Structure 1
């Protein structure tokens, strides 16, 4: 992890190095960091942070995947971090119970990869910028599916 600064980002500041369920641990890290920082940023600042973190994360995922020699390593969890931050940002204001449901739904969509998430996961494979985009894309689609469930629930 110390060989390149991109590794710190892509590996979720070490959360992706968990020997069991690194995606879940990365999502938990995202949730914990949200609780630490969410009141310090306005809605606009969160949006800008997410946009900038996506661009930096795209680069970090590219570099880390190439250095690891694996197109989409499970240890890269920055995609989970970004996607869960997006969910929490768009559900704001939300209580702990809502966030727990969001966590469970997101982990389901990310791990099981039903329908559109599986499609997004297959769409961009390999190394380079295209592969790094693929690392991020399926988690953003899982976030969209999670948010769609909340929108349908609230509309019902």
Structure 2
């Protein structure tokens, strides 16, 4: 059976028909929800994406500073790749359960993307980390071309994850040009 792109979009939209508000109860229902909502950081009533980014930044710095022999750049690279793959699944599952494919409370994508940025800019000063986080949030919120187009083209968990990874690459590009 051949399905047109329009029919595919309709099928995806029907899979997200029932809308829910995230809550502590929602997070505790399923480990995928717990992870997708950034261990609860996505429940922030104000700018949950920024809250998730800050949580990711804190985790990265604490883990790297506390256990540098464990959280090496190579280990972080593996964590980020596996986190992206896992994120496609858990963000899709949480989006379906919430009734919105890319609900604002889903912040696993921000966490993985900020880890990518920090992996490639550290070691650096605290000020440089602040600049990296701010640039990432700017690109994630503004979604300059082609990020917005790619976000619209890909739905489900992959769409949720890929736009933040692209925002991370834009951030890294600006930092690289700035240092040049």
Map of 1:121 onto structure 2: 151
How far apart in 1 are the matches of 2:128 and 2:72? 20
Higher share in helix: 1
Q: Give the Å deviation of 1:120.
A: 2.1
Map of 1:108 onto structure 2: 138
Map of 2:36 onto structure 1: 10
- Find out whether 1:60 has 2:110 as its counterpart: no
TM norm structure 1: 0.93
Unpaired segments of 5 or more residues in structure 1?
126-130
Map of 2:75 onto structure 1: 45
Runs of 4+ that moved beyond 4 A: none
Map of 1:128 onto structure 2: none
Unpaired segments of 5 or more residues in structure 2?
1-26
Name the SS for the 1:51 alignment partner: helix
- Residue correspondences, number: 150
> Which of 27, 49, 62 lines up with 2:53 in the alignment?
27
Map of 2:23 onto structure 1: none
TM norm structure 2: 0.81
Cα RMSD after superposing both structures: 0.9
How far apart in 2 are the matches of 1:152 and 1:82? 23
Decide which structure has the larger Cα Rg and report it.
2
